[in-house]
């Protein structure tokens, strides 16, 4: 019996397996038995807005626990120590975190800092012998992503990317339906990912720290979504960029990009990535025999979805709670989520982003 099957049998009795189960029946499975397996002990690096969201979500994890922090701001460390009961010996700053190698209380570091810092920080954490969980986008281009994959392999640690949608129940149900052939042959994907960005001085609009604009931050959801909804990787890209505010969106910071992707089966995708419009969080995929529409599709939830058969009924569970329990299951039991969350998966998206930037710049079709 495969380890996934064993795990599913185990979790159907305990709720631990929420991220892996897509039917409402299984999602509500409960047990009084406490979880007794290994716990993934995590230090968060970067105590900003998303780091805070992950920390809160981890309070209800079964298999993962927040035990440490890495931050350049002592006042934040003090606050987190008190709020999450983090011992002083598990607190680090950006100068001394290589000392984590001598700390047996920490199994993994979750990097939640600006994109332009991910590569260096990943390589440094890998050298401590701790697993790395890194936020999306994994770096600022595919070469960085590949260096991160290679560095983690050489250090014999896992590299996982914060693709929380790969653990989201309605998303997983839609992917499962596609895998089961319920939409027939997938033909077309439409992804709209965007919001109106505020403060012009934030790191997201600084090329060195962000690596780009909306595409790195939010457009990546349509890229990744096209791949998991259609079940293929693209072979060509075309892209067109629009910039209405060149003062706010400087050279190298994309405001709006429309892009098209072609897939080996003949399926096509048409997507929009933007920092200049709100209410853009929608996926639509149609196949020869049916369709799925998700709106919202990648926000923090609840995600809403319907297919030609009716609404997707799976309940909302905090994405980051499912993700961290799922990542613990992956690390300790080798349980793979329905779509991978490893470094190689991250590199695939980075290659597509590189190609989109090239296609937008040259106006030419880019083959992958
Ligand atoms: P943020 O600005 O709120 O937090 C960034 C943190 O990094 C801050 O605590 C900041 O102090 C720290 N930092 C360390 N060095 C820094 C430097 N040189 N310049 C600026 N800040 C520095 O940003 P965020 O929204 O938390 O985003 C962090 C990462 O998380 C990004 O990679 C982003 O793409 C990702 N993210 C992912 C999701 C998701 O849903 N998976 C959502 C939001 C953000």
Instruction: Return the CATH architecture of domain 2-164.
Output: 3-Layer(aba) Sandwich (3.40)
Mean pLDDT rounded to a whole number for the chain: 93
- pLDDT for 32: 61
115 lines ligand 1 (CB under 6 A): yes
pLDDT digits (tens, 9 = 90+) for 28-72: 334 567 899 999 999 999 999 999 999 999 999 999 999 999 999
The overall pTM is greater than 0.85: yes
Give the domain ranges of the chain. 2-164, 169-315+343-367
Which of 344, 314, 327 lies closest to 176, judged by CA?
314
Atom of ligand 1 at shortest range from CA of 115: 32
Residue 41, pLDDT score: 98
Pairwise CA distance, residues 219 & 214, whole Å: 6
Going by the DSSP 8-state scheme, the letter that residue 342 receives in this structure is B
Active site residue 136: yes
Q: What is the pLDDT at residue 33?
A: 77
pLDDT at position 14 over 80? no
Burial 331-341 (b: 16+ CB within 10 A, else e): bebebbbbbbb
User: What pLDDT score was predicted for residue 31?
Assistant: 53
Model confidence pLDDT, tens digit, residues 201-230: 999 999 999 999 999 999 999 999 999 999
Dump pLDDT digits (tens) for 105-156.
999 999 999 999 999 999 999 999 999 999 999 999 999 999 999 999 999 9
Q: What CATH fold (topology level) applies to the domain 169-315+343-367?
A: Dihydrodipicolinate Reductase; domain 2 (3.30.360)
CA of 58 to the centre of ligand 1 (A): 17
Alpha-helix runs per DSSP H in the chain: 3-11, 24-27, 49-58, 74-84, 118-127, 142-154, 169-179, 207-210, 214, 220-230, 319-333, 343-362
List the catalytic residue out of 136, 158, 187, 351: 136
pLDDT higher than 80, residue 319 = yes
């Amino acid at each position: 019996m495969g380890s996934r099957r064993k795990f599913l049998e185990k979790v159907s009795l305990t709720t631990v397996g929420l991220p892996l189960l897509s039917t409402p029946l299984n999602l509500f499975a409960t047990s009084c038995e406490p979880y007794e397996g290994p716990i993934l002990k995590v230090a968060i690096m970067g105590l900003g807005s998303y780091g805070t969201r992950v920390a809160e979500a981890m309070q209800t994890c079964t298999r993962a626990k927040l035990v440490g922090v890495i931050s350049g701001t002592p006042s934040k460390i003090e606050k987190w120590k008190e709020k999450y009961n983090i011992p002083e010996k598990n607190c680090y700053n950006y100068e001394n975190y290589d000392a984590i190698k001598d700390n047996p209380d920490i199994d993994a570091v979750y990097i939640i800092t600006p994109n332009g810092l991910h590569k260096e920080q990943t390589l440094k954490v890998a050298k401590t012998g701790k697993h790395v969980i890194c936020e999306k986008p994994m770096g600022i281009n595919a070469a960085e992503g590949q260096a991160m994959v290679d560095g983690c392999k050489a250090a014999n640690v896992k590299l996982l990317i914060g693709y929380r949608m790969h653990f989201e129940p309605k998303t997983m149900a839609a992917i499962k339906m596609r895998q089961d052939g319920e939409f027939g042959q997938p033909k077309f994907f439409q992804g709209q990912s965007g919001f109106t960005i505020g403060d012009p001085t934030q790191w997201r609009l600084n090329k060195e720290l962000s690596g780009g604009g909306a595409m790195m931050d939010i457009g990546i959801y349509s890229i990744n979504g096209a791949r998991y909804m259609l079940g293929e990787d693209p072979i060509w890209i075309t892209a067109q960029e629009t910039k209405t505010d060149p003062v706010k969106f400087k050279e190298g910071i994309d405001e709006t990009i429309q892009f098209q992707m072609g897939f080996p089966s003949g399926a096509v995708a048409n997507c929009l990535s933007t920092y200049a419009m709100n209410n853009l969080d929608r996926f639509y995929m149609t196949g020869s025999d049916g369709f799925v529409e998700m709106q919202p599709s990648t926000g923090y939830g609840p995600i809403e979805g319907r297919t030609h058969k009716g609404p997707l009924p799976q309940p909302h569970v905090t994405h980051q709670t499912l993700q961290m329990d799922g990542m613990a299951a992956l690390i300790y039991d080798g349980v793979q989520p329905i779509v991978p969350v490893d470094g190689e998966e991250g590199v695939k998206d980075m290659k597509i982003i590189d190609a989109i930037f090239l296609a937008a710049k040259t106006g030419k079709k880019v083959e992958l």
